[in-house]
Amino acid sequence: MRNAIFERLDAIEDLPSIPAVIIKLTEAIQDIESSAHDVSKIMGEDPAIMTRVLKVVNSAFYSNSFSSNPITNVKHAIVRLGFDTVRNIALTTSIFSIFKEDH
């Protein structure tokens, strides 16, 4: 069994890399000096991540029941969701897009 696993790993020629936006976003989120503005500027480089964050923040789980206005500002979305949630959304969005392309 163990040899079969190593043989399969050796057969892998190329793994997709994590996009640069995700790396910058993760670094900014880990930096205690970063603000929602800083993170939103980085997210601006990847429309798929921005769209996903806005979709999640306006979902029934996160939406404010006292306001019928959706959040359209990425900075406001980041503040509402928090850095950890934004990072998780960005990572999953990125991973799904990588594997979608490679099947």
For 72-81, write each residue's pLDDT tens digit. 899 999 999 9
- Tell me if 39 sits within 8 A of 29, measured CB to CB: yes
Q: Which residue has 């019928």 as its token pair? A: 68
pLDDT digits over 7-54, tens only? 776 666 655 556 788 889 999 999 999 999 999 999 888 888 899 999
Model pTM? 0.73
- Judged by phi (left if over 0) then psi (alpha if -120 to 50, else beta), residue 18 lies in beta
From the number of C-beta atoms within 10 Å of its C-beta (0-12, 13-18, 19+), residue 53 rates as buried
Q: What angle do CA 33, 39, 40 make, to 5 degrees?
A: 140
